[in-house]
Amino acid sequence: MVGQRVERATARLPRPVAAMIGVLAVWAALGVGHLVAGLLSAASSPFLAVGDAVVRLSPQPVTEFAKNTFGTSDKLVLLSAMFVVITLVGALAGLLSRERPNTGAWLIAALGGLGALAVYTSPMFADLDLVAPAAAMLAGIGALRRLHHLGLRAGPSAAEGGVSRRSVLVGGSAAVGLGALASAGVGALVGRDVQASRAEVTAQLAGATYAERAAQAPAAAAFPQLGTPTYLTSNADFYRIDTALRIPTLAAADWQLRVHGMVERELTLSFADLVGRPLVERPITLTCVSNPVGGDLISTANFIGVPLRDILLEAGLEPAADQLFSRSTEGFFTGTPTSVVMEPQRGALLAIGMNGEALPPEHGFPVRMVVPGLYGYVSATKWVVDIEATTFADPLRKGFWFERGWSRLGPIKTMARIDTPRGSTVPGGAVTVAGIAWAQHTGIAKVEVRADAGPWQTATLSAEVSVDTWRMWRAELALPPGSHTVEARATDKSGYVQTELQADPIPSGASGWPSVGFTVSGA
């Protein structure tokens, strides 16, 4: 009897089994947390909340390293790295619990506490959001204790313990798998609801009253046969840059916008309030401040929405308010200069449509801001739910990217880009060089090109559709066989000539002349 007690007291799990039990426990916690968040509030997923906190709190050099190294895959890299770290913590929790699960349980509790803290400190926190991290923590601790208990009772084979340790791990893996499938199923159902809402909004846009419609762009507005983009960018190809680790899943019927702060009358607008107003449709080119010289973070669409200026006039904007501080449902925040938005001809929108249909979820459905002439990081808040009229002097109202070293006002710089040829060998004779230029809300007046630092030659411009959109250009250069370098520069309608001075995107956008090298083949 004494021997049995000693044997039971010193029983411990093999290291691989203990580590796997810990891994399964944290995976169960992740699945349950995501499942409950999907049922109650997607923003309360502890896994995503921690990721959002990492993005929000990372110092500027780290943020820029991630953007420059991983580009638009930076979010996937972050989430993958987090998953690996959590898995390793789970393995450690299991190894610390070979005899008793208490130590590992405390480690999982600490991990759950970190998730709860990330949820609690989110800019969009609501009391109900703590349910998901609490459920995740309890699931992780419960799974660890249960699997540990079964593991100690089991032997290496069924003959020794009635239930093999392999069966315990297979059963635990199956439970985690079912939880993951349930979580994915909830996400699919929510996504289906959003798609149904988008379809309804698209139908509403087709029957809405319009005060202004975008004219169809003429064929001469672009030179796609020469390698330039088409004048309008399809929704599927429109560039996407934002801080969201998950795409918000808010249906139009559930959306509200609060307009408050330095206004005479606080407004709360529903989606029905917006779509019931006379709508405007305008072609607008959006540009990311992170776009390097010659980069492709620029696209054009016909945006449909309500003039933001009209909303602010209705609210009674106070003259002293020089900043519109906007927030999105996923926690992003930024400041936009009020003076720009309130320009009568600026055309700033609360956009609800894009290229004839409801906004795609990844581009801000159900509502986003669009302000021509300003980089998106200060003007194009997606999934916007709050606009506060305030001042730039308010120390508590600093934009997300302004806090990280970017400039405050974000006017778009006059730029040209060379699209063809790019780093290739071209046949002899006249060489066609083509590209795009932009100076949103000012307009492009001229584009010039030159080869091998020679004289500038004026390019042929496409038909102008709007000063708020890009403009295509092309030129024919007579170049002898051999290697050549071609540069381009744009002049806007104010007379400003694109600067040769090279500058990185930080803090106010890249500058410099784009150039390409290529070889002209012999006859």
Residue pair 339/330 in contact by the 8 Å Cβ criterion = no
Burial zone of 42 (CB within 10 Å; 0-12 exposed, 13-18 middle, 19+ buried) = buried
The whole-angstrom separation of Cα 128 and Cα 44 is: 8
The residue type at 78:
L
Q: Which two tokens stand for residue 365?
A: 């459905």
Q: CA-CA distance, 404 to 60, in Å (whole number)?
A: 5
- Alpha carbon distance 387, 518 (integer Å): 49
**Amino acid, single-letter form, for residue 348:** A
pLDDT of residue 183: 47
With 50 as the cut, is the pLDDT of residue 158 above it?
no
Q: Which two tokens stand for residue 178?
A: 């079912």
Please write the tens of the pLDDT for every residue from 269-288.
Answer: 999 999 999 999 999 999 99
User: pLDDT of 281-326, one tens digit each?
Assistant: 999 999 999 999 999 999 999 999 999 999 999 999 999 999 999 9
pLDDT at 459 over 80: yes
List pLDDT tens digits, range 322-370.
999 999 988 899 999 999 999 999 999 999 999 999 999 999 999 999 9
Cβ burial 79-109 (10 Å sphere, 16+ → b, else e)? beebeeebbebbbbbbbbbbeebeebbebbe
Decide: helix, strand or coil at residue 286.
strand
pLDDT at 177: 56
In this predicted structure, what is the pLDDT of residue 95? 93
**Is 80 exceeded by the pLDDT of residue 185?**
no
Helices (H), 225-372: 271-275, 308-315, 338-341
Place of tokens 């798998």: 177
Is the model's pLDDT at 159 over the cut of 70? no
The pLDDT of residue 171 is 55
pLDDT tops 50 at residue 100? yes
Instruction: Say which amino acid occupies 427.
Output: P
Q: In terms of C-beta density within 10 A (0-12 exposed, 13-18 middle, 19 or more buried), how is residue 313 classed?
A: exposed
Check if the beta carbon of residue 173 is closer than 8 Å to that of residue 163.
no
Cα 384–182–197 angle (5° rounding)? 35
Number of C-beta neighbours around residue 297 at 10 A = 18
Name all domains of the chain by residue range, CATH numbers in brackets: 2-190 (no CATH), 210-403 (3.90.420.10), 415-520 (2.60.40.650)
Cα 15 vs. chain centroid, distance in angstroms? Answer: 41
Q: What is the pLDDT of residues 215-236, one digit of tens each?
A: 999 999 999 999 999 999 999 9
Quote the pLDDT of residue 174. 54
Taking the C-alpha atoms of residue 505 and residue 77, their distance in angstroms, rounded to an integer, is 22
- How far is Cα 127 from Cα 401, in angstroms, rounded to an integer? 27
Strand partners, 303: 282, 354
Residue 154 backbone dihedrals phi, psi, to 5 degrees = -85, 155
Q: How confident is the model over 117-136, as pLDDT tens digits?
A: 998 888 767 778 899 999 99
245-252 mean pLDDT: 86
Which tokens hold the place of 103?
A: 């130590």
Hunting for tokens 């980069």 — which residue is that? 295
The answer to whether the beta carbons of residues 33 and 115 sit under 8 Å apart is yes
> What's the pTM value of the predicted model, to 2 decimals?
0.81
**Bridge partner list, 431:** 477
Cα maximum dimension of the chain: 100
Beta bridge partners of 389: 261, 324
Q: Calculate mean pLDDT across residues 387-395.
A: 97
- 148 pLDDT tier (thresholds 50, 70, 90): confident
Residues in contact with 315: Cβ distance below 8 Å, sequence separation at least 6, in sequence order: 259, 263, 264, 265, 266, 267, 389
> Token digits for 8?
């039971």
CA–CA dist 322, 390 (Å, integer): 6
Angstrom distance (rounded) from CA 359 to CA 365: 5
pLDDT surpasses 90 at 70: no
Q: Which residues contact 229 (CB under 8 A, 6 or more apart)?
A: 222, 300, 419, 436, 470, 472
Tell me the C-alpha distance between 284 and 441, whole Å.
9
Q: How many other C-beta atoms can be found within 10 angstroms of the C-beta atom of residue 236? A: 7
Mean pLDDT for all residues in the chain: 88
| Nearest residue to 368 via CA among 348, 394, 392 | 348
Residue 161 pLDDT grade (very low, low, confident, very high; cuts 50, 70, 90) = very low
Confidence class for position 186, pLDDT limits 50, 70, 90: very low
